[in-house]
Amino acid sequence: MTQLLLLVTIGVSVLGFATGGALFDWFALWPLGSGFAPWQLATYALLHGGLLHLAFNMYGLWMFGSELERLWGPRRLLQYYVVCVLVAGVVQLLVSSDAPVPYPTVGASGGLFGLLLGYAMMFPQRTIMLLFPPIPMPAWLFAVAFGLLELTLGVTGETSGIAHFAHLGGMLGGWLMLRYWRGKPPFGARR
């Protein structure tokens, strides 16, 4: 499943690059009232803003997704990833509705941040190495640090043009999915 997600995302992103961004009008996530269509809640994750954006997201998808797929299996990984992408999209819609200039959201980062949270919850003591600078840290600390960084950058408005709240939405979607699978509040016990 991880390989399929990689291939589909890379293929659609490359097609988006090759068409000069024509796919963005239909498949990027546009704010409500500015070209939004319901399918965009899923399709925005297949497009990327550039090769570096695509490369980093696909590296994270492979790194965290392949480990979670070994643990959960392909079906559960797909369910989890889709929920992370959808919740990330909904959160982004909620925070972008007040934007003075409507801009589209693209990228698998919401799903990736959800995978990061799942990885940190399943393998909290595994070491993750930051790329720049190369600092090793346990997975739980890596996820908490990135979550706090995204919250800080989102609230302060630093690095505009990055969907910080979509990243947090992906983490929220992952957390909710894990709570659902475990029968924990706000969900009832599973039978």
Q: Is residue 43 part of a domain?
A: yes
When comparing pLDDT for 69 and 135, which is higher? 69
Q: Is residue 189 part of a domain?
A: no
**Residue-level pLDDT at 4:** 97
Domain total in the chain:
1
Q: Is residue 190 part of a domain?
A: no
Q: Is residue 166 part of a domain?
A: yes
Q: Assess whether pLDDT exceeds 90 at residue 122.
A: yes
Q: Is residue 188 part of a domain?
A: no
Residue 180 CB burial class (10 angstroms; 0-12, 13-18, ≥19): middle
Q: Which positions ≥6 away from 89 have C-beta within 8 Å?
A: 29, 40, 41, 42, 44, 45, 105, 110, 166, 169
Q: Is residue 138 part of a domain?
A: yes
Q: What tens digit of pLDDT does each residue of 155-168 get?
A: 887 667 788 899 99
Q: What tens digit of pLDDT does each residue of 66-81 get?
A: 999 999 999 999 999 9
Q: Is residue 53 part of a domain?
A: yes
Q: What tens digit of pLDDT does each residue of 34-45 get?
A: 889 999 999 999
First to last CA, the chain: 27
Q: What tens digit of pLDDT does each residue of 48-58 get?
A: 999 999 999 99
Q: Assess whether pLDDT exceeds 80 at residue 191.
A: no
Residue 128 CB burial class (10 angstroms; 0-12, 13-18, ≥19): buried
Q: What is the CATH number of the domain that holds 30?
A: 1.20.1540.10
> Confidence band (pLDDT; 50, 70, 90) for 99?
confident
> 146 is in which domain, residue-wise?
2-182
Q: Is residue 141 part of a domain?
A: yes
